Structure 1
Amino acid sequence: MRVTLSLAAVLLAAAACCNAAISWGPAAKNPDFPGACWFEDLKVAVKAGEKLQTPGRCEELSCSQGEDGALLISVEQCGSVGPPPGCRVERDPALGYPACCTNLVCDEPQP
């Protein structure tokens, strides 16, 4: 019983604090940027072990190198949020990820 309650508490805490979408996969390469992941849609390279906040977009790009030497990319973005009635979601990409993520604004106090 104690383990079940502890697990439930951890899951609830994680759900309350974290709202993100993460995608990852093999990196594209550009011969002009050896040892870096190439993000074709942004025309930008990120060195292995580094992260990049994308201007005007609420996301963070990162590049890592696996034990086999393969480069992997990951993109962290805000998760989807459905606001309750009388509320709306506002985001400010100028704040940088993850501060730019969801800011729930309600016209009236919520119960």
Structure 2
Amino acid sequence: MTPDSSRNRADLRRDSALQRRFRVRLIEERGHRCEQCGNAEKVEAHHRVPLNQGGTWDLENGQLLCPECHKSTRSFAWKIQRGDGTPTRDVLFEAIAQLVEYGGLTESEATDARNRLRNY
């Protein structure tokens, strides 16, 4: 499914027909189950690399997820990653630990920061 190169990327993101075909092809290839938790009730097509970040409609860039697992991928904390691929949330937990270790935060401030991050 190679989109017409004359269409811009924003138009392709909004094309529900392309999204439906992408989902159907993923289900045909992988079955009707969430690839994270195994839920078989309802699945949605997810782009591992979002289209607006250079992702494609290739099946290798796709993943079937239930609504709950798909929702977790939309979190800003999980989309931003550092160079080695570690999600930002993990990076922030590491940074909090280092700030405590080197005296930049008290333990109570670090606990507060960790709790806020968990609730994000």
Higher fraction of strand: 1
How high is the TM-score relative to the length of structure 2?
0.26
Given the two structures, how large is their TM-score scaled by the length of structure 1?
A: 0.27
